[in-house]
Copies of this chain bind each other. A is one copy, B any other.
């Protein structure tokens, strides 16, 4: 890619961004769009604009985002969102501090060197101005390389310092949230798995109750046996679907009455597959009949489920936070594979079908899935490599000669050259996260947030290995495959030599991601269009309308690995081609600004894990840093710099830093510290409410008395303090 196509790409991206910005400012003023641009505020019961000054000012959203505090974020969107901003601002801080030193020092040092420009320091054989600004422009063995050594150290030290501060800060945020005087159901609950078979003459409930009552005679409240809800969920969903369709049909009927005919037109539907085949019936009658059929069926199934489908797993409730926190980490049974206890996640993020999974089942699943993920990561390298080899224009022309006429036109050529590889990459990557989340859930993880963390971790390794190393080493690797076979450690050298050649590719990639990506994010064009289509043609009832605009959550599962890829790219290039740093700063600065707006006004968190995401993020930032340090070691080697070993302490320091951080902070993110849990509560917790919040809707629906729970859900313990 030459310099002009780089500028074209940058220019186009900027134009798209500006257009999307204008669209946002224009569209978000229309009150009809409030539900798209302010759904979080609306769901929280706030007025879309109330308290937000000057809707007239097109840049008001920026001021609001900048002036919002961390407490605002926590109160509007929870600790997890606040932690995400800690991540953004930490990376931003590292890049700004790195840039302040690196740009004024390294650029002049590189530009003024008079190295012989050999072919391998330029991209695709064409020399561009960008390459003059990079370390590739510095002569081999030159003493100027000392500046780059110092820069490597500077970036690392700044990263350590800010990461340490961030970890401490996140730990504070987590502690503050956990010690809040609010009663939170999950803080009184533990999840018990691998309960051994019931002894003769005891019900499951009695077994569990007597077990925990013996150990915690005072703090035990009651227990809830986990049941196999597959069948009851199916009926419940069918019933709910019918209720929605009935409401829809009634709304359509009412509408038709208003629209001219006073007797109205009764809506009809077909009973067969997808409503396309079968007999035509009157919808209102049909659904009413169906609801009447399903309701007793659901009740019967609820009873059967509670009585006969009990599994070897339970939720146990305690009257004290300290006991629950301490029980979650204690060893209860002598055989570690029975009565395993862990802290319960929030009711809304429990993955019920995973709860009764057996200890060894989980263990085996975990390893099988590690193998599958490993294979996926390794064998996806081949298609990515092919894509990056294909999607250079000369290749395309050679391989698909019929495209020649199109491709040779100057404008198309430039655009294609600028975007083709990136778009291929982005589309390709969009397919994966769902698959990884599916795999993570199949591991038997009991909570949604944990599954998302696990998926996100897998995605990170995938993305870094395949995109970054894959594209960098990409075409190169095939020609050098012999060298690697002989000496596997040469892959570091290979990475080091191929990095500078791909600098412009990644500059464009980062720019595309922030301009177009964040432009789309802010303007919410796609959800807006979908919402308006739905409102016009599909939604008849209030509930349907709400369903159409409910915004979903921030999507950490894919967002964090995506950001981490940028972190990796920018870290690795920060010294080799420091010109990438401003791009990184813009990415994370713009990201912070736009997502602040989105978090405060748009997205609704679907769970709260009190910042458990952070250790994952922290480890992965450090992994990027380590990759950067190892790459630099390799690259200084390629530059035949005599003092290269001076960089060896860096990776060791990173490992020690990671070790100390995990020793000092990590356990608090796995468990609740008792000094935090023992803070006083605002009120004596209503244990009945705590208990009820964990009953899945399919089991609680249609009943107000709890006679039916007596089999699987134990009664209030009479010895407890809450009689």
Is A121 an interface residue when CB atoms closer than 8 A count as contact? Answer: no
Segment with Cβ contacts to B, from A44-52, A63-71, A500-508, A659-667: A659-667
Interface residues of A in 639-697 (CB under 8 A from B): 660, 663-668, 671-676, 678
Residues of chain B with a CB closer than 8 A to A336's CB? 663-668
Segment with Cβ contacts to B, from A306-314, A325-333, A418-426: A325-333
User: 0/1 per residue, A304-326, Cβ < 8 Å to B?
Assistant: 00000000000000000010011
Partner of A667, one of B331, B666, B678: B331
Whether B675 pairs with A337 at a CB distance below 8 angstroms is no
Whether B663 pairs with A322 at a CB distance below 8 angstroms is no
Whether B668 pairs with A322 at a CB distance below 8 angstroms is no
Is A363 an interface residue when CB atoms closer than 8 A count as contact? Answer: yes
Whether B664 pairs with A333 at a CB distance below 8 angstroms is no
Q: Which of A334, A337, A673 has the most CB of B within 10 A?
A: A334
- A189 to B: closest C-beta gap in Å: 17
Whether B215 pairs with A665 at a CB distance below 8 angstroms is no
Residues of chain B with a CB closer than 8 A to A211's CB? 675
User: 0/1 per residue, A543-569, Cβ < 8 Å to B?
Assistant: 000000000000000000000000000
If the complex has contacts A336-B663, A363-B663, are A674 and B325 also in contact, measured as CB distance less than 8 A?
Answer: no
Residues of chain B with a CB closer than 8 A to A665's CB? 335-336
- In the complex, A322 Cα to B213 Cα: how many Å? 12
Whether B214 pairs with A334 at a CB distance below 8 angstroms is no
- A264 to B: closest C-beta gap in Å: 64
Interface residues of A in 331-367 (CB under 8 A from B): 331-337, 339, 359-360, 363
Whether B331 pairs with A672 at a CB distance below 8 angstroms is yes
Interface residues of A in 180-217 (CB under 8 A from B): 211, 214-216
- In the complex, A375 Cα to B7 Cα: how many Å? 59
Residues of chain B with a CB closer than 8 A to A218's CB? 218
If the complex has contacts A327-B326, A363-B663, are A334 and B673 also in contact, measured as CB distance less than 8 A?
Answer: yes
Whether B322 pairs with A675 at a CB distance below 8 angstroms is no
Whether B664 pairs with A335 at a CB distance below 8 angstroms is yes
Is A76 an interface residue when CB atoms closer than 8 A count as contact? Answer: no
Is A373 an interface residue when CB atoms closer than 8 A count as contact? Answer: no
Residues of chain B with a CB closer than 8 A to A332's CB? 673-675
Partner of A674, one of B322, B330, B360, B671: B330
Is A283 an interface residue when CB atoms closer than 8 A count as contact? Answer: no
- In the complex, A678 Cα to B675 Cα: how many Å? 24
Residues of chain B with a CB closer than 8 A to A359's CB? 663
Say what secondary structure dominates the interface of chain A. Answer: helix
Is A175 an interface residue when CB atoms closer than 8 A count as contact? Answer: yes
Is A171 an interface residue when CB atoms closer than 8 A count as contact? Answer: yes
Give the oligomeric copy count: 2
User: 0/1 per residue, A425-456, Cβ < 8 Å to B?
Assistant: 00000000000000000000000000000000
Whether A331 pairs with B664 at a CB distance below 8 angstroms is no
Whether B326 pairs with A675 at a CB distance below 8 angstroms is no
Partner of A329, one of B329, B664, B672, B676: B329
- Minimum CB distance partner of A171 in chain B: B334
If the complex has contacts A363-B663, A663-B336, A663-B337, are A331 and B668 also in contact, measured as CB distance less than 8 A?
Answer: yes
Residues of chain B with a CB closer than 8 A to A174's CB? 334
- Minimum CB distance partner of A178 in chain B: B334
Residues of chain B with a CB closer than 8 A to A673's CB? 331-334
- In the complex, A450 Cα to B666 Cα: how many Å? 26
Whether B331 pairs with A215 at a CB distance below 8 angstroms is no
- In the complex, A333 Cα to B211 Cα: how many Å? 29
- In the complex, A331 Cα to B325 Cα: how many Å? 9
- In the complex, A398 Cα to B234 Cα: how many Å? 89
Partner of A675, one of B339, B660, B663, B664: B339
- In the complex, A333 Cα to B322 Cα: how many Å? 13
Residues of chain B with a CB closer than 8 A to A667's CB? 331, 336
Residues of chain B with a CB closer than 8 A to A664's CB? 335-337
Q: Which of A326, A333, A360, A678 has the most CB of B within 10 A?
A: A326
- In the complex, A360 Cα to B674 Cα: how many Å? 22
Whether B335 pairs with A171 at a CB distance below 8 angstroms is yes
Residues of chain B with a CB closer than 8 A to A678's CB? 214-215
- In the complex, A325 Cα to B336 Cα: how many Å? 15
Whether B334 pairs with A675 at a CB distance below 8 angstroms is yes
Residues of chain B with a CB closer than 8 A to A327's CB? 326
- Minimum CB distance partner of A168 in chain B: B335
Whether A330 pairs with B326 at a CB distance below 8 angstroms is yes
Q: Which of A174, A325, A665, A673 has the most CB of B within 10 A?
A: A673
- Minimum CB distance partner of A662 in chain B: B336
- A455 to B: closest C-beta gap in Å: 24
- In the complex, A333 Cα to B678 Cα: how many Å? 11
- Minimum CB distance partner of A332 in chain B: B674
Residues of chain B with a CB closer than 8 A to A360's CB? 660
If the complex has contacts A215-B322, A215-B678, are A671 and B337 also in contact, measured as CB distance less than 8 A?
Answer: no
If the complex has contacts A330-B330, A331-B667, A663-B363, are A215 and B675 also in contact, measured as CB distance less than 8 A?
Answer: yes
Residues of chain B with a CB closer than 8 A to A675's CB? 211, 214-215, 332-334, 339
- Minimum CB distance partner of A665 in chain B: B336
- In the complex, A63 Cα to B330 Cα: how many Å? 45
- A451 to B: closest C-beta gap in Å: 22
Whether B663 pairs with A334 at a CB distance below 8 angstroms is no
- A709 to B: closest C-beta gap in Å: 26
Interface residues of A in 132-180 (CB under 8 A from B): 171, 174-175
- A68 to B: closest C-beta gap in Å: 26
- A628 to B: closest C-beta gap in Å: 26
Residues of chain B with a CB closer than 8 A to A363's CB? 663
Q: Which of A359, A660, A665, A675 has the most CB of B within 10 A?
A: A675
A-B contact pairs, 25 of them (CB 8 A): A171-B334, A171-B335, A174-B334, A214-B675, A215-B674, A215-B678, A326-B327, A329-B330, A330-B330, A330-B674, A331-B667, A331-B672, A332-B673, A332-B674, A332-B675, A334-B668, A334-B675, A334-B676, A335-B665, A336-B663, A336-B664, A337-B664, A359-B663, A360-B660, A363-B663
| Seed contacts A331-B668, A337-B664; 13 additional CB < 8 Å A-B pairs | A214-B675, A214-B678, A216-B322, A325-B330, A326-B326, A329-B329, A332-B673, A333-B673, A335-B664, A335-B668, A336-B664, A337-B663, A359-B663
6 smallest A-B Cβ distances: which pairs? A336-B667, A326-B330, A215-B678, A334-B673, A331-B671, A215-B674
